[in-house]
Amino acid sequence: MTFPLNPAPSAADSPAPAPESGHGVSVLIPAYNYAGYLERAVRSALAQNHRPLEIIIIDDGSTDRTPDLGRQLERELPEVRYIRQPNAGLSAARNAGICNATHPFVAFLDADDEWLPGMLDTIMAEFARQPPSTPAAACNSYRIDPAGAPIGEKKTWPRGDRFFTAGDILMKTRFMPSSVVVRRPAFDSAGLFDTTLRSSEDRDMWIRIARDSPIRYLDIPLVRICRHDRNMSRNTARMLAATRRVREKARAGGVIPLSRAGFWLRVLAVDHFSGAWMYWDEGRSLRAIAHALLALALWPLPLDYRDLHEPPLFRLRAAARFILQSPFRKPHG
């Protein structure tokens, strides 16, 4: 079978119609050379109480032992299906999963992440409380290291349960892919993942899904996000280029009118500030300072720190930290 690789597939390439009723969930686990993590992710999905449930492993041309492990899990576990395709990227792997899903809800779980017990029960119970027009629901998450130990997070402002609009997600990434469950009909209007994006493809998708109706968010950490040296988010230059592309797509698509110049300046400011933190984490202090100062120049007025899930005066405090600590910080590598 040939899977669609375009962000806006034709009718022939679109996902098969989902049943009109039912609450089954198809869990999509894309994997590329993540054999060391894959079984842990699969087991965390199987540990959910919610049924019916299918788990689709999409092997994106792995060269490690992922094929052997995927076939073994398919043989041993009736809920698991294994699909292998030539390497085409994360978006194409997720698209293949969507097109092979048989249930009316689609959940995303990266191969190096884990769900906590009760994650699906919580999300599906929230869908039952919301109108059918709610296209997706997500929960909070926290980070772990490869050994499974929690990673300390910087102090942020609690968000609470809420709805996120397309504009909210355009302003800032609000949740991780592994925390999202989508009603399959949402892909009929939003299309599939954009295969030209090698990062931030999830943010692009959530913006497109939320254009029609906002996404429900539960401020409950039910997902463990593994941080390691192979995470895509560690490539700052690629992340910033993809963020710019997502921003340009949203602007061209009229998600927020161009006449709202203040909104777009705030989006630019937040994106550059995020880039400053990523460069700082890489040990590239001068680039971090440059992006932090550019963020302040683009929007010198205070931002709503509560909406952005940040401490008060977070940009000024970060810029001061970068400048004061930079002479004592050594670049990585």
pLDDT at 186: 97
Q: Is the peptide bond before 15 cis (omega within 30 degrees of 0)?
A: no
| Rama region for 81: left / alpha / beta (φ>0; ψ in -120 to 50; rest) | beta
Per-residue pLDDT at 17: 40
Q: Considering only CA atoms, which of 1, 212, 227 is closest in space to residue 95? A: 1
| Residue 107: its H or E element | strand 105-108
Of 217, 232, 247, the residue at which a domain comes to its end is 232
* 184 and 227 part of one domain: yes
Asked if residue 318 and residue 227 are part of one domain, the reply reads no
In a domain, 4, yes or no: no
195 and 262 housed in the same domain: no
Q: Is residue 164 part of a domain?
A: yes
Please tell me the predicted confidence (pLDDT) of residue 10. Answer: 33
Position 332 scores a pLDDT of 56
Q: Where are the beta strands (DSSP E) in the chain?
A: 25-31, 53-60, 80-85, 105-108, 114-115, 136-144, 162-164, 180-183, 215-226
Q: What is the pTM of this model?
A: 0.89
If asked whether residues 228 and 261 sit together in one domain, one would say: no
User: Is residue 244 one of the residues assigned to a domain?
Assistant: no
Q: Round the CA-based radius of gyration of the chain to a whole number and report it.
A: 20
Judgement on whether residues 181 and 276 belong to the same structural domain of the protein: no
3-state secondary structure of 119: helix
> 281 with 142, same domain?
no
Q: Is 243 inside a domain boundary?
A: no
Provide the domain limits for residue 280: 257-328
Amino acid type, 313: L
Please tell me whether residues 66 and 126 are part of one structural domain.
yes
- What per-residue confidence (pLDDT) applies to 7? 36
User: Hey, which residues does 224 pair with through a beta bridge?
Assistant: 114, 142
Helix (H, G, I), strand (E, B) or coil at 144: strand
245, part of any domain: no
Task: Look at the block and give the residue holding tokens 């076939």.
Answer: 71
333 lies in some domain: no
Q: Classify residue 328 by its DSSP letter.
A: G
* Same-domain check for residues 76 and 198: yes
pLDDT of amino acid 290: 96
Q: Which two tokens stand for residue 138?
A: 């997500």
**Which residue's entry shows tokens 């079984």?**
39
Q: Provide the number of structural domains found in the chain.
A: 2
Q: What angle do CA 121, 126, 127 make, to 5 degrees?
A: 100
CATH of the domain at 125: 3.90.550.10
Which tokens is 35 given? Answer: 């054999």
- C-alpha span between 206 and 191 (Å, rounded): 11
Q: Encode the chain (333 residues) as per-residue pLDDT tens digits.
A: 333 333 333 333 444 444 334 899 999 999 999 999 999 999 999 999 999 999 999 999 999 999 999 999 999 999 999 999 999 999 999 999 999 999 999 999 999 999 999 999 999 999 999 999 999 999 999 998 888 788 876 666 667 899 999 999 999 999 999 999 999 999 999 999 999 998 899 999 999 999 999 999 999 999 999 887 665 556 898 899 999 999 999 999 999 999 999 999 999 999 999 999 999 988 999 999 999 999 999 999 999 988 898 888 999 999 999 999 987 766 554
